[in-house]
Amino acid sequence: MHGIIARDLKIQSLNKVQFVLKLISTCNLRCTYCYWFFKEDNTWKESSVSVKAETIEWIIIAIQDAIDELDLKEVDIIFHGGEPLMLKKHVFEQHCNLFREKIQKKCILNFKIQTNAVLVDEEWIDIFSRQNIAVGVSLDGDKDANDEYRIDIHGNGSYEKTVDGIKLLMDASSSNKIIKPALISVINPKFNYEKLLNHFYQLGFETINFLMPNYCHDDIPNDFNMEGITKALKDIFNVWITQDNPLQKPIIFIEKDINFFQRVNFKNYRYSENTRYNAIIAVTTDGLMSVNDNLMCTDWRKMQPSPSIKDTSLKAYLNSLTYITLDEEEGIIPRECSECEYKNICKGGELPHRYSRKKGFDNRSIYCVPLKIYYQYLSRFLVANGYPTNELNHLLAQNPTAKLKNYERIIEI
């Protein structure tokens, strides 16, 4: 058992935990916008180059304790970095096998990996197949768009090597060795997404997660092109809706919004005084825990403790002030948003984009204007294509679930 107990234990049950496990603290690329090497997060300088064997053992012990203490049902291990494929292949598979040996019989265990795909080869494909690993690929666009920012350590573009890896992954998917890889892409307001989304489809991707540039109120550039963000959101939607069976090709932010109007996200999973549906915990190569990396742009994240998973139980960590604060902030719509007609679907935006040093998370998103225009566009599209106006207005006007405080609000999945 671990030794540190939180002051105010509220969560007594946990359905699922996702560990974002930093397998390696270096990378074969030097993407110019990367928070890991060039911006907010400098922990790589103080971390072991590759994950320690003890870190794997500590995570396993923490999971085993959580199965007993929190009735944990499911675990995702998301292999991350740096670039996780820089880890030696036999070491990587040893870690996978140890997780399976110690965890799989006690709860559901899922493996995922996020890679730039440059190092993908047939041996890695075989490992992904044997270990049933879901693969996510990072790519920002076609050759011109991608190579402007995603460069190697010599300043050369990474597009061609990335596409070589993608082709291997797609071929493996076609032969049913692995499931089809998904794509993560950071939106750049300078890019043409009518062109780029079609390019991603041509590469074979079907599930795509577009991320907003990770800024908060304190660090967004003065010349940042918000009009470009608005155009990107609308162009992505326009290309997606023209696909054959678009619902079979999910764009994550669009899927979430469509689900809102279909009431798909209003399910029976609730935070209660003692139950949490899901939690995300990042773990460094040395076993230090932190909240999700998307908060790295905030001073708040920098001030949070990073306890060792060796000495801190998951029950204690998830009941710490850090996680209680996140739950409470996500559960309260910013005051600036209280009169907005889209507050029920937007909920003020994502937490990192709401943050400022002066007011904490009680700000509207820095992307408020693009989001509002996008929601107007989406609403008009739905109504024009037969969605009942009264139903749409009812869903937008009903009491927002995010106003329920602490652990009593409805969880979105």
Domain count, the chain: 1
Asked whether residue 266 is domain-assigned, the answer is no
pTM of whole model > 0.85? yes
Asked whether residue 275 is domain-assigned, the answer is no
pLDDT in tens, 248-258: 999 999 999 99
Asked whether residue 205 is domain-assigned, the answer is yes
Mean pLDDT over 27-53 rounds to 76
Nearest to 117 by CA among 140, 96, 98, 94: 140
Tell me the average pLDDT of the chain. 88
Confidence grade of residue 14 (pLDDT, cut at 50, 70, 90): confident
Q: HSE of 5 in the Cβ direction (CA atoms, 13 Å)?
A: 7
Pair type for strands 208-211 and 108-115: unpaired
Asked whether residue 307 is domain-assigned, the answer is no
| pLDDT value at residue 208 | 98
Which structure tokens are listed for 193? 């997404």
Q: Which domain holds residue 76?
A: 13-261
Q: HSE of 127 in the Cβ direction (CA atoms, 13 Å)?
A: 21
Asked whether residue 31 is domain-assigned, the answer is yes
H/E stretch holding 238: helix 226-241
pLDDT exceeds cutoff 50 at 403: no
Number of other CB atoms surrounding residue 202 within 10 Å:
9
Asked if 288 and 306 count as a contact pair (C-beta separation under 8 A), the reply is: yes
Asked whether residue 323 is domain-assigned, the answer is no
| pLDDT value at residue 408 | 31
Asked whether residue 399 is domain-assigned, the answer is no
pLDDT in tens, 116-163: 999 999 999 999 999 999 999 999 999 999 999 999 989 999 999 999
Asked whether residue 109 is domain-assigned, the answer is yes
- Residue written as tokens 């959101």? 233
Q: Say which CATH number the domain at 222 has.
A: 3.20.20.70
